[in-house]
Amino acid sequence: MGTSTLQSLATEMSKAFETKTRPNGDSFVTLKDGSPAWMTDVVRAAHENGKQLPDDYRYKFVQESVDILAETTPFDEDVMFEAAQFLEPDIYYGQLAAWLGSHASRFGYLDEVLADGEAHNGKDSCTCIQMAQLREKEEVYHAVCSALRDVDLDVAA
């Protein structure tokens, strides 16, 4: 597998995202019409291979993931997994509350943070929700990395 191919796939996918606006004024990120099927496969992998319905936050997190992979230099597979450190949670409470309330499954990430004891030591609720959001972003990031590796393997075959 060529890591330069993997990064070029991430770069290509990064350029394939666009922001659209719904009639109610809400904006969302999606792949441009006519994007290659492998990009849809990567997005699907980030949605738990179709077990989760399309989700605006997941799309946004996929875009963030491919952007990070496209911009990481020097690029090799070890760096690819370390690049997850560049993921950042939202900082405003309103954004975090919107993310948390957007789907019941997101409370699972918060439950994990609370159960792991990460939330102790005087962390406030906003920080705990940030930690929960970061868990989802990391999950999506790793799903994107794996899916891009699968695409890279298909390209090499």
Q: Is the pTM of this model over 0.75?
A: yes
Q: Mean pLDDT of all residues in the chain? A: 87
Q: Is a pLDDT exceeding 50 seen at residue 26?
A: yes
Task: In whole angstroms, give the CA distance from residue 40 to residue 88.
Answer: 24
Of 18, 27, 3, 5, the C-alpha closest to 83 is 3
Neighbours of 28 (CB within 10 A): 15
What is the three-class DSSP state of 19? strand
Token reading at 70: 């496209």
Tens-place pLDDT, residues 55-78? 999 999 999 999 998 887 666 666
